[in-house]
């Protein structure tokens, strides 16, 4: 059964699913939808046109769905959609979209947002992402599945981070990060592949070897441009899905800047 603490405020219009628990002094706005099994601990505030998927657990002092931190925002109706089975820890902030960014911020399923992390307006966060303490996403950032952001890292607006990539703690990401890449540094540089993450996922050895060979062809040579090297690797790969993910990621928006070992491409 739904359990709403007497001190909580659930405004008229909010849609509350079955088996939802809302803790002391939490506030749920009139345009909020909480799916089955959502848990709000004490002092959680959910505002705006926000939908939260089943089984998501939100911890004290999180602020979810308040207006974007964008001076161009003029009060238009925009959304924040959060998927299922996420853990959103203390002091996390997430903002809805803006008209200029499509009006939607979307978070996938089974993610962990540690204390003080931030998801800015118009971001797209995939499934099973992890944002460590105080990791921050500026507006319009795209995070694919299985991305890990270290503590105190920051991702600049409009950046893309590919599937399975890892960002080191206290790293500032200015450019796109390839799938399965590992970036570190005050201003992020590519330091190799996220081999630990690949092994934890049980990726077969032969696929990892193929990905390492592709990485060397892409980033350990000065011949041609990154685009031309990606085209060559794509033409030569033999049904290796991870290699295809990387080359597709680069070639999809080859006019953009990418994190590289020397940041020269």
The answer to whether 54 and 17 are in contact (CB under 8 A) is yes
Q: Which of 55, 120, 139, 150 is catalytic?
A: 139
Burial class (CB in 10 A: 0-12, 13-18, 19+), 247: buried
As a whole number of angstroms, the distance between CA 9 and CA 210 comes to: 55
As a whole number of angstroms, the distance between CA 149 and CA 197 comes to: 13
Which phi and psi angles does 65 have, rounded to 5°? 95, 0
Is 122 marked active-site?
yes
Is 139 marked active-site?
yes
As a whole number of angstroms, the distance between CA 20 and CA 110 comes to: 18
Which phi and psi angles does 199 have, rounded to 5°? -65, -40
Q: Which of 43, 49, 118, 121 is catalytic?
A: 121
Which sequence positions are flagged as catalytic? Answer: 121-122, 139
């Amino acid at each position: 059964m739904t359990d709403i603490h007497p001190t909580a405020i659930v405004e008229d219009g909010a849609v509350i699913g079955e088996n939802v628990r809302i803790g002391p002094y939490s506030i749920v706005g009139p345009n909020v939808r909480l799916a089955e099994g959502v848990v709000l601990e004490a002092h959680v505030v959910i505002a705006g046109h926000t939908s939260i998927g089943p089984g998501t657990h939100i911890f004290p002092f999180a602020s979810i769905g308040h207006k974007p931190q964008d001076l161009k925002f003029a009060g238009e109706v925009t959304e924040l959609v959060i998927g299922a089975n996420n853990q959103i820890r203390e002091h996390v902030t997430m903002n809805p979209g803006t008209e200029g960014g499509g009006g939607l911020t979307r978070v996938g399923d089974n993610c962990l947002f540690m204390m003080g992390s931030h998801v800015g307006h118009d971001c797209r966060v995939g499934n099973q992402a992890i944002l460590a303490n105080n990791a921050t996403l500026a507006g319009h950032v795209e995070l694919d599945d299985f991305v890990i952001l270290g503590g105190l890292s920051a991702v600049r607006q409009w950046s893309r981070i590919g599937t399975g990539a890892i960002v080191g703690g206290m790293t500032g990401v200015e450019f796109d990060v390839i799938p399965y890449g590992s970036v570190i540094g005050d201003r992020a540089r590519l330091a190799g592949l996220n081999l630990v993450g690949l092994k934890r996922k049980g990726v077969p050895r032969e696929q990892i070897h193929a990905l390492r060979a592709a990485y060397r062809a892409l980033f350990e040579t000065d011949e041609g441009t990154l685009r031309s090297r990606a085209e060559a690797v794509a033409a030569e790969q033999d049904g290796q899905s991870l290699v295809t993910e990387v080359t597709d990621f680069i070639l999809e928006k080859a006019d953009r800047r990418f994190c590289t070992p020397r940041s020269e491409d």
